[in-house]
A = this chain, B = another copy of it.
């Protein structure tokens, strides 16, 4: 499948979902108090720090997944509360993670805490998370089920970020712990996103499970690609600083794979990173090169492909000729192919 075609088709699916998700998101965010509304709108890319309209939002991939998962069982509209909720939770976690990780930029703009201060950014994250629960509460009789789906994902997100912070302080990290952390940070919410619309539409447990498993595996693939981009990626594309993960000394999966590869390059990398993040630009470049030479990037690319294959296999719970299934396949390929 050609990357260009996948990308074009995927964008169409995302744009189609955004047509109904964006107004629902705005209606939800409008219920927040003025200060929280401003910060949420900034985080969502709708306005600048003074509230002037901008167009700097994310792709809305999670909301799209929720809408398509609803279409697999009922109508796109059935998935709206779930779509709004997962997008709010995703942005809550971005706001908070940026505070904790002291990240300065996201989507080519200063992060929330840089713009509004730590406290207001933390509060706006809390407000968005609480709003997500409210949106599901206001929904139909399947509300309680979808709420449980969301709280599970939020606890997964929290555990993943907590593990991430803890692993940063840890001298040696094994690959299993690293993947478990990434499962929490990305796969938990993706599993929720790809099934909550079906939950809202009243799907059977088997269909919900299959869609959730699809999202979980895809989330891991997505995170592995993100890890690769954090090492090699073009900051103009990713909206992050170049080699930002290497510079920050982040033990992402490709780095841990390199460190535990048993290769010469892996051992040299270990020595280089023994006293924390690389200190000079020369060391950043050397570390980046050693991660590649030790096979860390190749391993991550192969693992991402394997996870993608598993994700697609879980779509067997949907009929072969289901348009929603075709769209989930397109989205999955898009997620893993992006910018590689």
Q: Which residues of A contact B (CB under 8 A)?
A: 32-33, 35-36, 96, 99-100, 117-120, 122-124, 126-127, 129-131, 133-134, 137, 143-144, 147-148, 151, 154-155, 158-159, 161-163, 165-166
On chain B, the residues within 8 Å of A161 by CB distance are: 119, 123
A-B contact list, 19 entries, CB within 8 Å:
A32-B155, A33-B158, A33-B162, A35-B163, A96-B123, A99-B118, A99-B122, A117-B165, A119-B161, A120-B165, A123-B158, A123-B162, A124-B162, A126-B129, A127-B158, A131-B155, A133-B151, A144-B144, A147-B147
On chain B, the residues within 8 Å of A162 by CB distance are: 33, 35-36, 119-120, 123-124
Are B148's CB and A36's CB within 8 A?
no
Are A137's CB and B129's CB within 8 A?
no
In the complex, what distance in Å separates the CA atom of A137 from the CA atom of B163? 26
In the complex, what distance in Å separates the CA atom of A134 from the CA atom of B161? 20
Closest to A163 in B: B35
Are B100's CB and A119's CB within 8 A?
yes
Are B137's CB and A144's CB within 8 A?
yes
Question: Which of B134, B147, B166 touches A35 (beta carbons < 8 Å)?
Answer: B166
The 5 closest A-B pairs by CB, nearest first: A100-B119, A33-B159, A119-B165, A130-B154, A134-B151
Are B151's CB and A122's CB within 8 A?
no
In the complex, what distance in Å separates the CA atom of A51 from the CA atom of B332? 43
Say how far A123's CB is from chain B's closest CB, in angstroms: 5
Known: A162-B33, A165-B117. A155 touches B127 (CB 8 A): yes
Say how far A142's CB is from chain B's closest CB, in angstroms: 11
On chain B, the residues within 8 Å of A143 by CB distance are: 144
